[in-house]
Structure 1
Amino acid sequence: MGSDSVPQGRRELKPVPVTVTGAPGALWHPSENHGARRDAARPDLIVLHHTAMDSAEAALERLCDPAPPQGLSPVSAHYLIAEDGRLWQLVDEAARAWHAGVGQWGDVVDVNSRSIGIELANPAPNPFAEPQMARLEALLPGIMARWDIPPARVIGHSDMAPGRKSDPGPKFDWRRLARQGLAVWPEGAGAGAPGDFLHDLAAIGYRMPEGGVPEILLEAFRMRFRPWGRGPLGTADRALAAQLARQVPVRRG
């Protein structure tokens, strides 16, 4: 039936498009697992994750489940990218998704209220598929422009939760993102004198978790910047940390 079927004197009701702050072209698949950003915070971090689940569809179901099995908490993210490049948006960018959990980056302790969370479907520790990386590279510039987020504040879950989280993992290509201005990577890595490793990591943004030991921070740092590193803390680790502390000190506040 067309518009001729509308009774005289009554206005036809048309669907109202949903207005969502986010990526054009993303499949809108809303999750109930979100809330308001605390203290009217704006996102100034982007946190990258991997799902560690068998499929993107399984991850999508988990991220949208308001009542998960006993022992599991409701979780969400703003975006989910499948291995084949499909992109879902689950939470409006202006809202607080539940992806980061306990952790800290620089002075930011409520990372959920200050970040956009992006999940990459990957059962881990597989390399990340080309269509998935291409979609991520297309997604990030818009988010960074909308919220004025610099490359140094695109981080991994393992960066803000060392010892507790290991994603997106040592096989994620951070250097590829950095070449496009979407993250940071130390070109000419290790140039310069080594410094105080823990002091330099704090300058970059890393924070020791409660009850943690220095080896936890070393593991997180290497996972991001020296995934080939092995053994105890060495001169190369210290020189690289000192270089990054000079180049990309964490933004305060």
Structure 2
Amino acid sequence: MIEAPSPNQDERPAGVPVDMLILHYTGMRAGREALDRLRDPAAKVSSHYLVEEDGRVFRLVPEHRRAAHAGISHWRGHAGLNARSIGVEIVNPGHEWGYRPFPALQMAAVCDLCLGILARHPIPARNVLAHSDVAPDRKQDPGELFDWEGLAHNGVGLWPGADPPPPGEAALLPLLGAIGYRTDLPLSVLVTAFQRHWLPGRADGIADAPTRARIAAVAALCAADDQRKSGA
């Protein structure tokens, strides 16, 4: 762990649990450029951690403090998610500068980092999120090439098994809302965000049968995660 403190932090509000983990990509040409920006007082942005492509991990903000990473954000009826989340920036040029797969060394470091975070905070598996999940009308990171399935198989987040029969399109907004997405946005925006997380390689916003089936599968997974938490 490399210490690289950012001035862009403040106290978390009292009484608000840290119950979300939000993963981002940096979307800049190089990791050094991203690290400098996250530590620039004029930029007013930060994250708790940054993970380089070679697996190095930088700590910018202590977990008990609030970092400025999520911006205007919503999940499961909550808004302003910086107050209740840990933010991890993952170095990748992003869609603007040449989006590419995340190296295995980097993903291993992300996994280890996330497992530690989850051990320290009451974050349910269903609240391991993409920036694009919580800001679907603004963000697309970490994107459709990110290995959510691999993380889930190693204990970070959720991933469905076999999909059920696809529901009709009328059921999609309620199901997406049950997963946690805000439902006051166009369906195509929500479907695109969902696909980036749950359908590798897809980000077309088309609610076809495989997408509808996967939405139903993830909604069921989230309900089961709630039951596990209440039974613990």
What does the per-residue CA deviation read over 1:31-73, in whole Å, with 9 as the maximum and x for residues that have no partner?
A: 01011112332211000000011111111100000024xxxxx
Aligned-pair CA distance for 1:193: 4.6
Of 59, 71, 76, the residue aligned with 1:89 is 59
Matches within 5 A, 1:65-104: 65-68=40-43, 74-104=44-74
Q: Distance in 2 between matches of 1:117 and 1:232?
A: 29
Q: Distance in 1 between matches of 2:58 and 2:138?
A: 26
Letter in 1 for 2:30: S
What is aligned with 1:218?
191
Q: Distance in 1 between matches of 2:118 and 2:205?
A: 36
2:189 and 2:205 in contact (8 A); partners too: no
Q: 1:87 to 1:178 in 2, by over 3 A?
A: same
Matches within 5 A, 1:34-183: 34-68=9-43, 74-124=44-94, 125-183=99-157
Letter in 1 for 2:128: V
Aligned-pair CA distance for 1:214: 1.1
Letter in 2 for 1:39: A
Letter in 2 for 1:204: I
Q: Which is further off, 237-246 or 215-224?
A: 237-246
What is aligned with 2:230?
none
Aligned-pair CA distance for 1:231: 6.5
Aligned-pair CA distance for 1:217: 0.4
Q: Secondary structure at the match of 1:32?
A: coil
Q: Secondary structure at the match of 1:39?
A: coil
Q: Distance in 1 between matches of 2:26 and 2:85?
A: 18
Q: Distance in 2 between matches of 1:231 and 1:158?
A: 13
Whether 2:7 is the aligned partner of 1:32: answer yes
Q: Distance in 2 between matches of 1:192 and 1:243?
A: 9
Q: Distance in 2 between matches of 1:91 and 1:147?
A: 16
Aligned-pair CA distance for 1:109: 0.8
Q: Secondary structure at the match of 1:38?
A: coil
* Larger Cα-atom Rg: 1
1:108 and 1:114 in contact (8 A); partners too: no
Q: Secondary structure at the match of 2:79?
A: coil
Structure 1, unmatched stretches of 5+, are 1-25, 69-73
Aligned-pair CA distance for 1:228: 4.0
Matches within 5 A, 1:229-248: 229=202, 230=204, 232-248=206-222
What is aligned with 2:229?
none
Q: Distance in 2 between matches of 1:240 and 1:54?
A: 33
Q: Distance in 2 between matches of 1:231 and 1:221?
A: 9
What is aligned with 1:3?
none
Q: Secondary structure at the match of 1:96?
A: strand
2:19 and 2:122 in contact (8 A); partners too: yes
Q: Secondary structure at the match of 1:245?
A: helix
Q: Distance in 2 between matches of 1:231 and 1:216?
A: 6
Letter in 1 for 2:82: N
Aligned-pair CA distance for 1:159: 0.4
Q: Distance in 2 between matches of 1:235 and 1:205?
A: 21
Give aligned-pair identity as a percent: 42
